[in-house]
Amino acid sequence: MLSFLFVLLLCCNNDNDNTNQIDVVLSSITYANKEKIRCDFNEYNDKLENYSCFYPNGSIALKGSIVDLKKINEEYIYDTSGLLKQYNFFNPSGELVYRRFYDSEGGLEFEEGQYFCYAKSNSLDIKVGDTLQLSVYVATPPGSINKVYGTNDKGVYDIFRKKTEGYLNKMEVIHKKVGEFKFPFQVIFNDTFNNIADTNSSYIVIKASK
């Protein structure tokens, strides 16, 4: 299993939000003339924005998402010919928790960090019979896939899920008993570059009342 090797915290404080936003976005890239890179921002919801940046020759430089001047979820970084050089995955705090580097032919050079990032629910306090919305975020670089299962004393089982992005699994769980309980789940990560299948188990604590 991959071990957590590093944490990179991005933070910026400045009155010029637009300049700060571009500075944060371009902090991941090494390029002699960053001022010549053009970045486009598209609002995804009230806070989160998707960005796409381009080299002077028009080829893609990097793309990802940012919220409150912090990068979040996936980021792809390319060289000036459009070849993928690096894949990053950030948690909600803007910490870089996983990254993967590629060589000039698209092969894997090395990787570090933990592919399973975090889980969250729409509420930690629910009523018996309510449907719990659980979102599990998993780094999913090119050449890999992930799947999330519920777990119990009999093993793993399928949960109703909706995969909105490659890295995001959304699941619905209905609890029928009063009290505090752990909802355990398991992430299965398949990597074609390394020809490995890895697993990571975790849980989220929920309180159910009448």
- Summarize the confidence of residues 178-203 as an average pLDDT: 85
pTM: 0.81
Q: What is the mean pLDDT of the chain?
A: 82
How far is Cα 160 from Cα 51, in angstroms, rounded to an integer?
A: 31
Q: What Cα–Cα distance (Å) separates residue 180 from each residue in 71, 150, 175, 209?
A: 33, 17, 11, 9
Among candidate residues 78, 85, 116, 76, the one with its CA nearest the CA of residue 98: 116
The answer to whether 176 and 128 are in contact (CB under 8 A) is: yes
Choose the weakest-confidence range: 16-30, 87-101, 106-120: 16-30
Reported confidence tier of residue 9, pLDDT bands at 50, 70, 90? very low
Backbone phi and psi for residue 83, each to the nearest 5 degrees, phi listed first: -85, 135
**163 or 102, which is more confident:** 102
- Confidence at residue 161, expressed as pLDDT on a 0 to 100 scale: 65
How far is Cα 26 from Cα 34, in angstroms, rounded to an integer?
A: 7
Choose the weakest-confidence range: 1-5, 43-47, 178-182, 201-205: 1-5
pLDDT at 71 over 90: yes
Specify the 3-state DSSP secondary structure of 143: coil
Q: What type of residue sits at position 159?
A: I
The answer to whether 187 and 146 are in contact (CB under 8 A) is: yes
How far is Cα 35 from Cα 55, in angstroms, rounded to an integer?
A: 10
Exposure b/e, 122-158, CB count within 10 A at least 16 = b: eeeebeeebebebbbbbbbbebbebebbbeeeeebee
